Chains A and B, each alone.
Chain A
Amino acid sequence: MTPMVKAEGVHKRFGRLEVLKGIDLEVQPGQVMCILGPSGSGKTTFLRCINHLEQINAGRLWVDGELVGYRQVGDKLYELPEREVARKRTEIGMVFQRFNLFGHMTALGNVVEAPIRVKKTPKDVAVRSAKELLVRVGLADKCDAYPSQLSGGQQQRVAIARALAMNPKLMLFDEPTSALDPELVGEVLDVMRTLAEIGMTMVVVTHEIGFARGAGDVAVFMDDGVVVESGDPQDVLVNPQHERTKAFLSKVL
């Protein structure tokens, strides 16, 4: 089976700062991979490389068997034209730490925007499925609310619905609960658990150890631009083998 995400020796530099120092990972279809690690460890950067929001400097990164952002001729990589990059992004949903809902559009407007403008879905079809998605994330009554009228947890659930509206085969979550008040974290994690249960392939950068243990199939611990250890969440998060993982877990638990 083709892995949904495959990374081979992925390097990323910002100027002289090397953020990713050779990442090798595989996510199988239907798997939920949780990436944990201290801030500055490169986990968010890696996630952003998966949909080419960041360009990698070395290595190879495939999504569903296709190189991300590049095409390979012989040994050389050529960056794909913007249109091709955009087309591939339609298959990858992304949820941000700061929600990034479109502030001038209602919840419904946010969800139907990309299906109508990018996928050219007829408006009535897009609106109908957007409403279904908002029901699924528990916001049936908030269709006409603007983001500024919603709580953080509600905004993040709209953001998840917005990403799902494109029918992605892969969902990326960048610390989806880090900007939320503690009592709002649960409602977002519940939506994510439901998604995991119906078999969505997910890569989740998170600090929620409980979520990683309960809903994750693979846990990855990153530090200083490398994968320190990865494997079954029960092993990595309950009986870590590396000192750095132990030190990190003892701080967050």
Chain B
Amino acid sequence: MQNKRFEWSVIRQYMTDPTILRGLVTTLELTALSMVIGIVLGVLLAVMRLSPNALVSGLAWLYIWFFRGTPVLVQILFWFNIAAVYPRFGVGLPFGGPQLTHLNFTTLITPFIAGVLALGLNEGAYMAEIVRAGLISVDEGQTEAAQALGMSRLLTMRRIVLPQAMRVIVPPTGNETISMLKTSSLVSVIAVVELLYAAQIIYARTYQTIPLLIVASLWYLICTTVLSIGQYYVERHYARGSRAQQAAMLDFWRNMTDIRPFFGLRR
């Protein structure tokens, strides 16, 4: 820690550098947007995979197979270069009908959009499996009771099964969010100025490589810490109605906040 090459004064100076802060905001935006896409897609794919319809569940399986089976870095580069394959993306009527609308991929897919798409679509595949695990963890009797009351399949999923699946879904989702925060640094390869790339831009100019990497790392640490605390409260919310789990959470929190061991006192 005392090593002079860490240059703590440089670190302190760059922690609040505008370029770094802008990069931090971009990282947070990337993480939030990709996770929203990932979670929405994950719920959709999980419900599809559990569908009795073989075509529907097969489609979901295929999606997960593909996006989980290729490196996310490749997917990022792919979306960045999508305009080379499809310069324009049109929506029209088939058999020579009029084109209703079209999107110009060359201008639409900015590096940021490419990054969000790649990270979000990839995350969807992982979230699908997490959500599926949650859904099948809920006792089948819950679905039957809801159906016996005349609730539709969709209503049963939304009001009865999903809320109870959340207890299983939330912890790994917190994990995924924390992982996403760090994985988002991969989009530096397509020149999105997120936290890591912002640090790289600065040290390419000043040659203060190690201090700036520490600046980026510290910011990542701060963000993951805040996320972990948020996760605790979300988990507590979904532990409603489960006595054992609420007791366990309370114990965990007491142990976490118990400062006596730091002063050599016994609990």
**In whole angstroms, how far apart are the Cα atoms of A29 and B159 in the complex?**
33
Contacting pair A117 B243 (CB below 8 A): no
Q: Given A100-B144, A100-B145, A102-B142, do A148 and B151 touch, yes or no (CB 8 Å)?
A: no
Q: Given A96-B144, A102-B160, A113-B159, do A148 and B150 touch, yes or no (CB 8 Å)?
A: no
Contacting pair A51 B243 (CB below 8 A): no
Using Cβ atoms and an 8 Å threshold, which residues of chain A touch B152?
A: 82-83, 86
Contacting pair B155 A118 (CB below 8 A): yes
Contacting pair B149 A89 (CB below 8 A): yes
Chain B window 183-210, contacts with chain A (Cβ cutoff 8 Å), 1 for yes, 0 for no: 0000000000000000000000000000
Contacting pair B145 A96 (CB below 8 A): yes
**In whole angstroms, how far apart are the Cα atoms of A227 and B145 in the complex?**
27
**In whole angstroms, how far apart are the Cα atoms of A105 and B141 in the complex?**
15
Q: Given A53-B144, A103-B142, A118-B155, do A148 and B241 touch, yes or no (CB 8 Å)?
A: yes
Contacting pair B164 A114 (CB below 8 A): no
Is A216 close to B, CB under 8 A?
no
Chain A: interface residue count, which band? 20 to 34
Is A92 close to B, CB under 8 A?
yes
Contacting pair B149 A162 (CB below 8 A): yes
Is A193 close to B, CB under 8 A?
no
- Checking A83, A100, A106, A148 against B139 with a beta-carbon cut-off of 8 angstroms, the contacting residue is A100
- Checking B151, B155, B163 against A104 with a beta-carbon cut-off of 8 angstroms, the contacting residue is B163
Using Cβ atoms and an 8 Å threshold, which residues of chain B touch A2?
A: none
Is B12 close to A, CB under 8 A?
no
Is B148 close to A, CB under 8 A?
yes
Using Cβ atoms and an 8 Å threshold, which residues of chain B touch A101?
A: 145
Is A213 close to B, CB under 8 A?
no
Contacting pair B149 A53 (CB below 8 A): no
- Checking A82, A87, A104 against B153 with a beta-carbon cut-off of 8 angstroms, the contacting residue is A82
Shortest B246–chain A CB gap in Å is 9
Using Cβ atoms and an 8 Å threshold, which residues of chain B touch A100?
A: 139, 141-142, 144-145
* CB neighbors of B among A157-175 (8 A): 159, 162-163, 166
Total number of B residues with any Cβ neighbor in A under 8 Å: 23
Q: Which of B142, B150, B163, B241 has the most CB of A within 10 A?
A: B150
Contacting pair B163 A94 (CB below 8 A): no
**In whole angstroms, how far apart are the Cα atoms of A102 and B163 in the complex?**
10
Contacting pair B150 A53 (CB below 8 A): no
Is A201 close to B, CB under 8 A?
no
Q: Given A100-B144, A104-B163, A113-B159, do A87 and B150 touch, yes or no (CB 8 Å)?
A: yes
Q: Which of A83, A96, A104, A159 has the most CB of B within 10 A?
A: A104
Contacting pair B149 A118 (CB below 8 A): yes
Contacting pair A149 B243 (CB below 8 A): yes
Q: Given A104-B240, A148-B242, A149-B243, do A89 and B148 touch, yes or no (CB 8 Å)?
A: yes
Is B147 close to A, CB under 8 A?
yes
Shortest B132–chain A CB gap in Å is 19
Contacting pair A103 B148 (CB below 8 A): no
Of the A-B pairs whose beta carbons lie under 8 Å apart in the complex, a sample of 22, sorted by A's number, is: A53-B148, A82-B153, A86-B151, A87-B150, A88-B150, A90-B149, A94-B145, A94-B148, A96-B144, A100-B139, A100-B144, A103-B242, A104-B238, A104-B240, A117-B159, A118-B149, A118-B151, A148-B241, A148-B243, A149-B243, A159-B145, A163-B149
